[in-house]
Amino acid sequence: MISLGTRLRELRLAKGVSLDDIARSTRVGRGHLEALESDSWGDLPSPVFVKGFIRAYCEFLEASPDEALGLYREATGETVKPGRVQSAVHTPPTRRIGPLMVSLVLFIALGASLFALRIGLKTSPPPAPAVPVQPARVPEAEPRPEGQRLLIRAVEPTWIRVQVDEGQVAEELLQAGAVREWTAARRFVLTVGNAGGLEVDLNGRRIPALGAKGAVIQRLVLPAEAQGAGS
């Protein structure tokens, strides 16, 4: 079976581009690109970064990353969690009751209802006068928190991964000039491949630079005060 590195190298050579061309456009270091093409997993960072590198590599070559990601999972032994399968519950059909039996049951029920109504009219006391009921006071709704708003502008090609609260995850290679925005109830968790290639606004305010150009930032929690609550 063809390896991931061999497949990536074939795609690159078919396009007639060099590793330096890919490194300049994607901001993925040449050393990491060489490690991908030689299947040197020990020279690469954590899997979340490697997958981002593979996506960036394939997107630069205008190729789908699905095949390359599949080869990476096979090479590293990563398994894909199967989806849940719901089993159908068979309900036995209801036994049919003959028309005569249904009519008899309805007749008996109707007679019993009429008898109970007559007894109730004879024995029930006169109704008590109605007492006005004061409407209950409805407590004023507390103002809802506005949550968190994150806006990212790319000034250089930069790979990012953004997790919103504990759910939605977005991964993308941003080109220079791209703008992305997310909202969350509590926090965001950022992983960035080129810290100096981004401008970040949190709740309408510019935050200091995440780091130098080319620096890798892993699992940065914004806002910082949400770090303790989310860990």
User: What does the DSSP 8-state code read for residue 55?
Assistant: H
State yes or no: pLDDT of 14 exceeds 90.
Answer: yes
Residue 81 exposed, middle or buried by CB count within 10 Å (0-12, 13-18, 19+): exposed
Residue 97's pLDDT is what? 45
Span 107-123, pLDDT tens digits: 676 666 666 566 555 55
Output b/e per residue, 60-77; b: 16+ Cβ within 10 A. bbebebeebbebbeeeee
Given this model, what pLDDT does residue 110 score?
64
Which residues face 217 on adjacent strands? 192
The count of other CB atoms within 10 Å of the CB of residue 19 is 19
Name residue, tokens 């968190």. Answer: 148
User: pTM value?
Assistant: 0.48
> What's the mean pLDDT in 169-193?
91
**Which pLDDT band, with edges at 50, 70 and 90, does 168 fall under?**
confident
List % helix, strand, coil for the chain (3-state, nearest 5). Answer: 40, 20, 40
Backbone dihedral angles phi then psi of residue 72, each to the nearest 5 degrees: -65, -45
Q: Mean pLDDT for the chain?
A: 79
CA distances from 202 to 49, 58, 223 (A): 24, 31, 8
Give me the mean pLDDT over the 145-161 stretch. Answer: 88
